[in-house]
Amino acid sequence: MRLRIVALLLTGAIASAAPDPAPLPSPQVTLRVDAPEDKSAWRLVVTNEGDVPVRLAADGRLLTLEIQPPEPPPVEATSKTGSKSAPARKGPPAPIVCRLPASLRPGGVVDDRALILGPGARYEEYVNPLLYCFDARAAAALAPGATVTAKLGFPPPAARGPKKAPGDPPFVVEPSTRDPAVAAAKELTAAPFVITRPLEEDADDRTSTADGDDAQAPKLELSAPRRIEAEDELTINLSLTIKNTGGRPTTVHFRRDNLIFDVEGPDGPARCGYPTNRRQVPRDLFWALKPGNAQQLDVWVGEMCSDVIFDRPGLYQLSPTLAFPNATPALAVQTWTDPIRTPRPTLLRVLRGRLPFYAEPPQALGATTASP
């Protein structure tokens, strides 16, 4: 019995002295983001450059954009005596980080977005950076000269001590075989690139109609917020302002059902709201809009638009147009009848919908793949 105990102790000592297995190499999977000059959408490309298949979370909602604004030019200082000193240089501004809110960004790998990437295969997806950099400050950072570093996946935990393992799930890339040849990765990082053109649309000055021969003619303009966010398709509210920027008053009549919305969304274009020009309008429903005066019109967009238009969460563009019915002949006054529209679309971010964010499952390009 004593010999057996000694043997067991020796076996345990040998086992405890055995070295840890060598760590697996990192997966040779790369992330690239292309920002074409002629498109507002950026192309996200993930490529398996290794020789073993991997499982990818093919989900652009996991994208994070770190934006480094360009360093401001040095400011030349002037002393009280009028002499100029050397330009003072400020440090680079703090980077701005853009990612989707928790209601849009998955907390893990969604099963129907898991994709097996074979050797040489790639996954591509077009993303609109304004969906991620939605608030005004973040959107303003997407300016020419800014440097963008894109990351896809799940931020790794803060490093404590020597890094030996990728951490706990979820992973953006992980082995797809029973006996893994590569390690898992929580996040992929793309090479930085510089924005070369503005992403926000310029305002269109063709938003109202006035008599070009009369500098004092009335002129109506329609304005709306640049961006709004809604929990779902039932909570899309929009506040419009109609203002007379001309030199004389004009008589107007408008209401919510005179609105037309041109919508550009994840499933393509749509139009809702069809005003009638044959409505008989009583005289007391017209009023004078004096120069410089404005009138606000609060709209529940779902009142005019079918609920299927905003069924899918994501980014939409709303372009409102306000039409005016022709004056009743018996009115015997000149009224405003030309339609007016907002100078540029309103960005709408819908957080939840009855349809999933993606209309189709992910597909790998460039190689034969298997099901995850």
What pLDDT tens digit does each residue of the chain (372 aa) get? 454 544 444 455 444 555 666 789 999 999 999 998 777 899 999 999 999 999 999 999 999 999 999 877 666 655 566 665 656 566 778 899 999 999 999 999 999 999 999 999 999 999 999 999 999 999 999 999 999 999 999 998 876 655 556 678 999 999 998 889 999 999 999 999 999 988 876 666 545 555 557 788 899 999 999 999 999 988 999 999 999 999 999 888 777 878 999 999 999 999 988 766 556 666 667 778 899 999 999 999 977 887 789 999 999 999 999 887 665 555 555 677 888 999 999 999 999 999 999 999 999 999 654 445
DSSP-assigned letter for residue 19: P
pLDDT at 335: 77
CA-based torsion, 304, 355, 361, 314: positive or negative: positive
Q: What is the pTM of this model?
A: 0.83
| Residues contacting 35, CB < 8 A, separation 6+ | 42, 148, 193, 195, 196
Q: What is the DSSP string of 309-362?
A: TT-S-EEEEEEEEE--PPPPGGG-S-B--S-EE-SSPEEEEE---SS-S-SS--
pLDDT at 159: 65
Q: What is the dihedral of CA 106, 110, 116, 122, to 10 degrees?
A: -30
pLDDT at 371: 46
**Amino acid letter, residue 151:** K
- The answer to whether the CB of 132 falls within 8 A of the CB of 56 is no
pLDDT at 9: 45
Tell me the CATH architecture of domain 220-350: Sandwich (2.60)
- Token code pair at residue 113: 């977005």
pLDDT at 331: 53
pLDDT at 323: 85
Alpha-carbon gap, residue 230 to 104, rounded angstroms: 12
Alpha-carbon gap, residue 200 to 265, rounded angstroms: 16
pLDDT at 334: 66
H-state helical runs in 18-111: none
